[in-house]
Structure 1
Amino acid sequence: MKLTSTLCATLALAACSSPKQETQVSATPPIPVSYEFLVGTYTDSLHHGINFLSFSPSENIMTVETLAAGIANPSFVLASKDGKTVYALEEEAGAKGGKVLTFTRNPVDNSLTLIDQDDSMGDHPCHISLSPQEDFVILGNYSGGNLSVFKVSPDGQLDFTQLVQHSGKSVNPDRQEKPHVHSTTFDPEGKRVLVADLGTDKIYVYHFNPSTAEPLSLSGEFPMTPGDGPRHLAFSADGKEVFVVQEMTAVMEVFSYENGSLTSKQRLSLLDEGFTGNVGAAEIRVSPDGKQVYVSNRGDANTISVFGKNASGTYVHVQKIPSGGLMPRNFNLTPDGKYLLAAHQASNDIVIFERDEFTGKLIQTLWKADVHRPVYLHRLAD
């Protein structure tokens, strides 16, 4: 004790006689950043289904686990804002179409509990959208050529409300012989729903009124270039532009958007000059900071293209990079925009790219996960 007291006194005296010396405080180690995604897949056995992917760059950890097995082709999966409710599809055909499934999710262990199962009312449902107030779910039924609307009840059940059937066709007799609804997307105001129909080569705009018995009413139809096959779309950060991925021509088309009206401004090819082979443009995303637009292309291309906006207000090609696998049907960015994850249906894997936060360019990393036929990535905890 005597030695300890003497040492403390000496240290105290030294501190008092050295005014330039600062007390050192140990910094708390930063909490590792972890990104979480739900993964939709196509299934070939009862062991396949909805997966959960976790990725921690600083810890060099990437894990994938199956949360809900035995579901037939849950190709699209979507969670509520708090992550506690999950909606998924069974992309199947039947007397009343496929299925839409509702789960509760435990954020602690990520377990999913099925609480509701409803007919999709159209064959091969392929897309889900959730209204801004999370009180309505809209399905796009690809082979059915229609969209179905469900009201979310207070206990989380889905109640079928409305079916909207499209009609018509376009120039490709093999793929556009009838309507093929591929996506349903709410606009930033939540007042309208934009529906991309690959079969009729149109974007349909519906007014959304949740207080009426049938919430959707058609307000406009906007033809694409014949043979385009519009698939998915995304809004610019300010909501004044809509980016549409044209699946069959491998084009990103830029539209101005005002009061539910679309006007084409630009068409940018995803292909190199002289490219020959099959194409299948698939997903389109805007970076979280709103600076770049990303588009995937399947077929014989297997690329991700990056576009940015120049000072004149037009979009320019920034980069085209191999997607790191085969058939990049879907991809997504982390909420902070630092990474992009590409899901490959044909090579059965998910590949991670690092994103330059200034230029938007991508660099493929060594992180890669084996996943059976991944076709959709929904990020959690935005």
Structure 2
Amino acid sequence: MKLLPILIATLALVSCTSPKQETQVTSEPVSPTSYQFLIGTYTDLPIQGINHLYFSPEENILTVETIAGGIANPSFVIASKDGKRVFSLEEQSGTPGGQVLSFSRNPTDNSLTLLDQKESGGDHPCHISLSSNEDFVILSNYTGGSLSVFKVSPEGMLAHAQTIQHSGKSVNADRQTSPHVHSTTFDPEGKRVLVADLGTDKIYVYDFDPNQSEPLKLSSEFPVSPGDGPRHLTFSADGKEVLVVEEMTAILDVFYYENGVLSPKQRLSLLADGFEGKVGAAEIRLSPDGKQVYVSNRGDANTISVFGKRPSGEYVLVQNISSGGIMPRNFNLTADGKYLLAAHQASNDIVIFERDEFTGKLTQTLWKAELNKPVYLFRLND
């Protein structure tokens, strides 16, 4: 694949000033706090693709640059812990179907160099997960209803290891006539993979053994409520709960989790009282301090819901706030938990919120980046 030249767009921001401080004597200057994210997008032009976002609130800087053009619909993008390996996909269908790609990344200038590219094993791959040792990636093929496992060499080359085809359906005649694998998530131990299948209304638990030629083996299937459509999931800070966003019913489902076994705990609605209209719950994130859970909802809602946890262990709604745009397919928080960035597929922007570190509540800021159909945000550590 030929990558197109880097396109850099620096965004004009509303200027801000800070009150004067008393003169202080410091031994050495302190660098301003800054944050970096990779952005997955849906593409309409060849120059579009994977983007990089830089945000420095103290300097009032917010920039976005295209670091890998010529990739069709790289809707999900992740990186290794050191940020030097990047994995993405091309969310397409037909012949030969979707693709999975690996890159090397130069942290100095964020440039990406394509290392390898393989067929994803199904149509419309929409999610990637990386094993704890960073030697395997697993792809979710949404329309294909399958998941594929690839071995990653130290040089970043991809070798197909396994494809598992789901079967079955559920109650929604428009969206659940066949399996639709929407996400694959390693548990905190890295010994199991939980697979959310929107089409079959099930969460599948697979044992993961990297020493086997086919690393995944089905352990159990857990049905959710008919018509829920499980999409993405995350784990509580202690790893004893699985929190699932149910796309079609706009529900936060909470399950107890022990040794790969799920059992129901709590169901909470993302909808305000009296809400009428279409829904499309999308992303779920745990705050870096583990105190709050955040869930986005698309459709006619366009909200982010904030949930806290009482001393009793019960989850409770803290806030329902407008996401600041249209179709918040994805969002993420900065590593220090001070800001939340919401990516809007339909309004073509990323809106930044300040987060109260005690209550978890969000307040929309004036910072906004405009770019074509941002649909995923991955937080970089460098």
- The 5 Å alignment of 1:109-128 reads 109-128=109-128
| Secondary structure class of the residue paired with 1:238 | coil
Shift of 1:25: 5.0
- The 5 Å alignment of 1:15-54 reads 25-54=25-54
Shift of 1:93: 0.8
| Secondary structure class of the residue paired with 1:367 | strand
Unaligned runs of 5+ in 2: 1-23
Higher alpha-carbon Rg: 1
Shift of 1:134: 0.5
RMSD value over aligned CA atoms? 0.9
Distance 1:27 1:352 in 2: 33
Residue 98 (1) aligns with residue 115 (2): no
State the partner residue of 1:9. none
| Secondary structure class of the residue paired with 2:51 | strand
Cα deviations across residues 11-38 of structure 1 (Å, max 9, x unaligned)?
xxxxxxxxxxxxx954423210110000
Distance 2:69 2:156 in 1: 21
The code of the aligned residue for 2:58 comes to S
Structure 1 residues 26 and 127, CA gap change in structure 2 (3 angstroms): closer
State the partner residue of 2:271. 271
Residue 343 (1) aligns with residue 343 (2): yes
State the partner residue of 2:140. 140
Distance 1:154 1:380 in 2: 20
State the partner residue of 1:293. 293
Overall identity of the aligned pairs, in %: 75
The code of the aligned residue for 2:257 comes to Y
Distance 1:264 1:281 in 2: 20
Distance 1:158 1:36 in 2: 26
Shift of 1:97: 2.0
Unaligned runs of 5+ in 1: 1-23
Cα deviations across residues 206-258 of structure 1 (Å, max 9, x unaligned)?
00000011000000000000000000000000000010000000000000000
State the partner residue of 2:6. none
Distance 2:251 2:26 in 1: 54
| Secondary structure class of the residue paired with 1:193 | strand
Distance 1:33 1:218 in 2: 44
Residue 247 (1) aligns with residue 208 (2): no
What TM-score comes out, normalization by structure 2 length? 0.93
Residue 168 (1) aligns with residue 171 (2): no
Distance 1:218 1:316 in 2: 33
Distance 2:189 2:62 in 1: 36
Distance 1:148 1:271 in 2: 34
| Secondary structure class of the residue paired with 2:92 | coil
Shift of 1:156: 1.2
Residue 306 (1) aligns with residue 313 (2): no
| Matched residue count | 359
Shift of 1:274: 1.9
The code of the aligned residue for 2:163 comes to L
The code of the aligned residue for 2:60 comes to N
Cα deviations across residues 102-155 of structure 1 (Å, max 9, x unaligned)?
110000000000010100011000000000000101000000000000001232
State the partner residue of 2:318. 318
What TM-score comes out, normalization by structure 1 length? 0.93
The code of the aligned residue for 2:329 comes to R
State the partner residue of 2:234. 234
